[in-house]
Amino acid sequence: MAELNGTPIALDSLQALALTNYGHFTSMRVEHGRVRGLALHMARLARDCQAVFDTELDLDRVRELARRLSPTDGAGVVRVTIFDPALDLGHVGSDAQPHVLVTTRPAGPLPLPPMRVQSAVYTRDMPSVKSVGLFGSLRHRRTAQRAGFDDALFVDTESVISEGGTWNVGFVKDGEVTWPDADCLVGTTMELLREAHPSTTRTVRLADVAGFDAAFATNIGIGVRAIGAIDEHTLPSSHPVIEQLRKEYDELPGDLL
């Protein structure tokens, strides 16, 4: 299902999004009308709208539009994309009038099996913004999958780990959670877990992976997912801390959309 500003979307309204691809978004897992970290999603949309379009976003209206398509029973993923159909490649500097595109898809069952990831040297444009420009991330995901992995793990030229293709990464050592200290998009799931579970943040390089007991990925679509391998280094497919993180995340009450 898809609506633009609360009405069924016409194909010509998507032309700018398809051809210019300038905008930002957030995706929310909605369970029985509730969203974990709803305030974080709204804050992200407001912050990114200022960064991308230099204007404020009416968050009450965004919630109303998202609520129209959200499942009231069961689980689904609602994506809110902010873009301006009037902006094109030649006139992207014009004053913006952001539009709200709401799309939905089914939410998959959790937890997911461990995944294997391949490191890739890559830093996204404006890492702190959840932009619609995903070409680089998807290109590296495709390369990793064609090499037999599930996804890509991004590092810089000094092998400092930052994030995954569309997820954050965490590590476990002696019962303690470590988040990489690097430029990345801090996801809402990561933020919620940092509030719920003690952790530290420090620089993590590929060479450090062998010294950890386990690794995991997080986002709203996968929850907390174990990482079973980074390049050729194998990691445990389960760990008590990962199970505890899942439990803490699942028990978060969520807010009514």
pTM of the entire structure? 0.96
pLDDT per residue rounded down to tens, the chain (257 residues) = 899 999 998 888 888 899 999 999 999 999 999 999 999 999 999 999 999 999 999 999 999 999 999 998 999 999 999 999 999 999 999 999 999 999 999 998 999 999 999 999 999 999 999 999 999 999 999 999 999 999 999 999 999 999 999 999 999 999 999 999 999 999 999 999 999 999 999 999 999 999 999 999 999 999 999 999 999 999 999 999 999 999 999 999 999 99
Round to whole Å and give the CA distance between 139 and 157: 18
Q: What CATH architecture applies to the domain 2-106?
A: 2-Layer Sandwich (3.30)
Record the tokens describing residue 236, joined without a space. Answer: 């445990």
Ordered by start, the domain boundaries in the chain are: 2-106, 115-252
Cβ proximity of 181 and 202 under 8 Å: yes
> In sequence order, which ranges of 111-221 are alpha helices (DSSP H)?
135-146, 188-196
Contact 153, 164 (CB under 8 A): yes
Cβ count within 10 A of residue 189: 25
Q: Does domain 115-252 have CATH number 3.20.10.10?
A: yes
